A and B are shown apart, each in its own frame.
Chain A
Amino acid sequence: MSEAGPIVLMGSVPPPARPQSMLGRWWRRLQPRGTTLVTSIPYLWLLLFFLLPFIIVLKISFSDTQIAMPPYQPLFSWAADQVVQVKLHLSNFAFLVEDDLYWRSYLTSITVAAVSTLLCLLIGYPMAYAIARSNPATRNILLLLVILPFWTSFLLRVYAWIGLLKNNGFINNFLLKLGVIDQPIQMLQTDFAVYIGIVYSYLPFMILPLYANLEKLDLTLLEAAADLGSRPWESFLKITLPLSLPGIIAGCMLVFIPAVGEFVIPSLLGDPGMLMIGKVLWTEFFNNRDWPVASAVAIALLLFLVIPIMMYQRTQESASGGGLHR
């Protein structure tokens, strides 16, 4: 009877109030539901094609080179007496710190990315603002024009800039013909060309999130500010700008993160001596065939980028009670 007691008691409790065990809840969550199914597909994709390769790269970064196929030593090996031996080479990371080549290229990459992001913001904000304020018919045309470059290959567009910037290219020839200059200006293979390439290529990624944000702005807020004695410029600084902060941050992330690892633009438009981390990685991987060091470079870059993003998201979460997202 003592065994049956609790069961009877359980039965007398109305079903919604029945205390659920942790296991039961966990099991209920595992039950296939529509939403779980839909969300699990992209997560599976990310798991297979992002997390798994990342783990492989991480593994290689702790390894050492060897002339073999694949060109690195295995992490786990069978030692005597059925013992699994794990050899973690931290030397690759130590090497990154010792050799100032890596430090300097990280620094250049981050500087180039930061300056390009700032330039994109300065150019993109007024554009996004103008598009958001234009009438709906022209707005769609303007947005289409922003996206239009994506219809051509990225590589082709960068090559087009070579044609424009080189010494006997379009711009120099045009200026020579006008008589403004008497010898061509060296534009290709300079930092200037790299900035032009990056700003040009990534500008839409700045404009689109900014536009999405600015377009939502309630215009009566600006009227209210004007009504309380605020001139248009002050209203912009006090109302529009703070409310567009999520758009600014999103746009800057979308430009800064890919720009740090950018490889194609500096190698096609920039000075061959310009050290950027994407190029260093390429050289390490393909020319030196040092997969472990290349992997360590990649992992270090990832950490560089992931930590600020996570910090940003932390602040967003704590501020979400503050109502920037309405």
Chain B
Amino acid sequence: MATSPRDKQLKFEPWTDPNAKPFVRVERMTKKFGEFVAVDDVTLDIYQKEIFCLLGGSGCGKTTLLRMLAGFERPTSGRVFIDGVDVTNMPPYEQAVNMMFQSYALFPHMTVEQNVAFGLKQMRVTKPEITRRVADMLDMVKLGPYTKRKPHQLSGGQRQRVALARALVTKPKLLLLDEPLAALDKKLREHTQFELINIQETLGVTFIVVTHDQEEAMTLSTRIGVMNHGEIVQVGTPSEIYEYPNSRFVTEFIGSVNMFEGRLIEDEPGYVRIQCDDIEAPIFVDHGVSSAPGATVWAAIRPEKVHIGREKPASPDNWAMGVVRDIAYMGDLSVYLLRLDSGKVVRVTQPNVFRHAEDRITWDERMYLSWHASSPVVVTK
């Protein structure tokens, strides 16, 4: 049976292999602009053939980090190694690293063909070879009929593919992509995401992608590095980042979440119990937490992991009661906003499994909320 790309990706986990050599190694890199610290002591290992996403809000330092990898900015301190070579102070034109710019930066006075051929000409590749490689690459990104057009005669999606072709035709060891899909509309973006993954797998190039769009990061990447205030706060696979966030920032940044502040009232190696101000019943979590009893912790529960029902749950833990304030029907699922007695609003999503449900939940109904003991994520910072 043929394996799907997704299966291959699941097996592709070089970061768990202690013998694997990282392809890109960022060592304690810091970049300051005057007093402002844009990138703060970042250490990062990225392996060959990965699609690594740097994810963060605007101004978190992700683009500066990318620009240092490309050689456009010099780090204030720290080193970068690519394929074992120290490239920290190498000018961009000597590095075998290409970048796809957010604005695409296509040369406006050159045709599509000339744009793509630019890098090969710089490498002094022979003319017939240039023609062949440019034609192959343009076929791959499905721009065959547009070779003689100038960039301003192309649509946004076509320009994006010219930029990709231009960056890939020289067979770089590493491709840096700065918000590659930000300028495309939603439908085209989704389509292009999968196309990018296919091209990356065909060519076997390592990708480092900068994005602020968590959905884009989730679909594209083998691993995500979440950045905040110039620091990398967590590195992990998309599911690790979503299900096991290590801090309140990551929990709230990725997806939506219900956050309950509380104190540890029972702290055992196998389980903990948390008393929150907002809910009467304690939150019971079926795994240990490394924190002192009585310490303030946050229990985060994803909306899709909360069950909503009319029956009072049997368990003394892990339930709450609220009034339905708002319902949003999204097609595949419905979002319910419930207000607890404390005033806190809890978000619950339920898949719409049946086309027609008897006895639907309606506004102003008092409902019981409950969740499994494995659902809450407990974070201490």
Q: Which residues of A contact B (CB under 8 A)?
A: 218, 220-221, 223-231, 234, 238-239, 242-243, 322-324, 326
Q: Which residues of B contact A218 (CB under 8 A)?
A: 103, 105
- Complex Cα distance, B98 from A220, in Å, reads 13
- Beta-carbon contact of B101 and A224 below 8 Å: yes
| Most chain B Cβ neighbours within 10 Å, of A224, A242, A243 | A224
User: Would you call the interface of chain A mostly helix, strand, loop, or mixed?
Assistant: helix
- Beta-carbon contact of A229 and B109 below 8 Å: no
- Beta-carbon contact of A323 and B101 below 8 Å: no
Give the shortest distance, in Å, between A159 (CB) and chain B (any CB): 45
Within 8 A of A (CB), among B279-338: none
- Beta-carbon contact of B170 and A226 below 8 Å: no
**Which residue of A has the minimal Cβ distance to B70?**
A227
User: Would you call the interface of chain B mostly helix, strand, loop, or mixed?
Assistant: mixed
- Complex Cα distance, B99 from A310, in Å, reads 43
- Complex Cα distance, B101 from A326, in Å, reads 19
Give the shortest distance, in Å, between A238 (CB) and chain B (any CB): 8
Q: Which residues of A contact B105 (CB under 8 A)?
A: 218, 220-221, 223-224
- Beta-carbon contact of B103 and A225 below 8 Å: no
Q: Which residues of B contact A224 (CB under 8 A)?
A: 99, 101, 105-107, 166
Q: Which residues of B contact A227 (CB under 8 A)?
A: 70, 72, 92-93, 97-99, 167
Contact A243 to B109, CB < 8 A, known contacts A223-B72, A229-B122:
yes
Interface residue? B249 (CB, 8 A) = no
Q: Which residues of B contact A (CB under 8 A)?
A: 70, 72, 91-94, 97-99, 101, 103, 105-109, 118-119, 122-123, 150-153, 166-167, 170
- Beta-carbon contact of B166 and A228 below 8 Å: yes
- Complex Cα distance, B70 from A231, in Å, reads 15
| Most chain B Cβ neighbours within 10 Å, of A229, A239, A326 | A229
- Complex Cα distance, B150 from A242, in Å, reads 15
Give the shortest distance, in Å, between A137 (CB) and chain B (any CB): 16
A230 partner, pick from B70, B93, B150, beta carbons under 8 A: B93
- Complex Cα distance, B92 from A227, in Å, reads 5
- Complex Cα distance, B122 from A69, in Å, reads 71
Q: Which residues of B contact A229 (CB under 8 A)?
A: 93-94, 119, 122-123, 170
**Which residue of A has the minimal Cβ distance to B109?**
A242
**Which residue of A has the minimal Cβ distance to B169?**
A228
- Complex Cα distance, B104 from A221, in Å, reads 9
Give the shortest distance, in Å, between A243 (CB) and chain B (any CB): 6
Q: Which residues of A contact B166 (CB under 8 A)?
A: 224, 228
- Complex Cα distance, B167 from A221, in Å, reads 13
**Which residue of B has the minimal Cβ distance to A220?**
B105
Q: Which residues of A contact B119 (CB under 8 A)?
A: 228-229
Q: Which residues of B contact A324 (CB under 8 A)?
A: 108-109
